[in-house]
Amino acid sequence: MTSPITLEDVQNREDVKVYLARSDDNMDTIGYTEHGFRHAEVVAKRARHIISALEGEEREAELAAVAGYLHDIGNVASREDHGQIAVMLSYLILKEMGMPAVELAEIMSALGNHEEQYGDPFGRVAAAVIIADKSDVARSRVRDMHPSRYDEHDRVNYATMSSDVTVNHQRTIISLHLEIDTEIASIMEYFELFLDRMVMARRAAQVLGCEFELMINETKLL
């Protein structure tokens, strides 16, 4: 009997390493923030944490971590429809590794639905990946550190000194905590850029049986 596929197994695949590295290079070419190994690891860790904190099964949490790690791998081919490309690539990789169909279905649902333009939180794994992905706003994602060359996404990311996702003890509220330097970017700029993402995160939290809460500089805003 084949052992269950783990996040570590996926991370050790040479093709996954190559595809993620090239995905990030492609995003750099078109001026996007970091979408490489760091982002993949953050999303994997947060997706696993969300399921675990909600007392999900260990295997469900591991699948959320795998999906979180692979969610942007489709950028290796194209930014447009990269979620659907991620589904196809990850299916081939994970099928070759021996992942059963019932688990592949969870992974594909998460990968194909993580973007706010067209995604829906089809299940708990998909919902956890959505929240984990949309919560990763960070200074370290900015590539060009010269303020005169920032676009609005760079400025808001650079202004974000810390971000964290928590689940309250009653397992009823999932919170995104951000610390933003308002001398670099205003809180209104964050809302203007990321409101669609926060709406999607709220819908995902509902699938998990929770409310979604946005805290910026220790003030509840959503």
Q: What is the CATH number of the domain that holds 34?
A: 1.10.3210.10
pLDDT-derived band at 144, boundaries 50, 70, 90? confident
Torsion over CA: 207, 38, 35, 187 (sign): positive
Q: Does residue 166 surpass a pLDDT of 60?
A: yes
Residue 102 belongs to some domain of the structure = yes
Question: What average pLDDT is seen over the chain?
Answer: 93
Residue 2 belongs to some domain of the structure = no
Residue 152 belongs to some domain of the structure = yes
Residue 178 belongs to some domain of the structure = yes
What contacts 189, CB < 8 A, 6 or more positions away? 152, 155, 156
Q: How many CB atoms lie within 10 A of CB 131?
A: 27
Q: Does residue 119 surpass a pLDDT of 80?
A: no
Q: Does residue 116 surpass a pLDDT of 80?
A: no
Amino acid of residue 211: E
Residue 87 belongs to some domain of the structure = yes
Q: What is the pLDDT of residue 148?
A: 60
For residue 93, the surrounding DSSP H or E stretch is helix 82-97
What is the per-residue pLDDT across 39-74, written as a single tens digit (0 to 9) for each? 999 999 999 999 999 999 999 999 999 999 999 999
Quote the CA–CA distance of 39 and 29 in Å, as a whole number: 17
Domain of residue 124 covers 7-220
Residue 15 belongs to some domain of the structure = yes
Do 62 and 7 touch, CB atoms closer than 8 A? yes
pLDDT-derived band at 1, boundaries 50, 70, 90? low
What is the per-residue pLDDT across 88-115, written as a single tens digit (0 to 9) for each? 999 999 999 999 999 999 999 999 999 8
Residue 1 belongs to some domain of the structure = no
Enter the tokens of residue 170: 């009653």
Residue 81 belongs to some domain of the structure = yes
**Number of folded domains that form the chain:** 1
Do 68 and 129 touch, CB atoms closer than 8 A? yes
Quote the CA–CA distance of 62 and 201 in Å, as a whole number: 20
107: nearest Cα among 150, 144, 145, 62: 62
Torsion over CA: 50, 132, 126, 3 (sign): negative
For residue 6, the surrounding DSSP H or E stretch is none
pLDDT-derived band at 146, boundaries 50, 70, 90? low
DSSP conformation class of 149: G
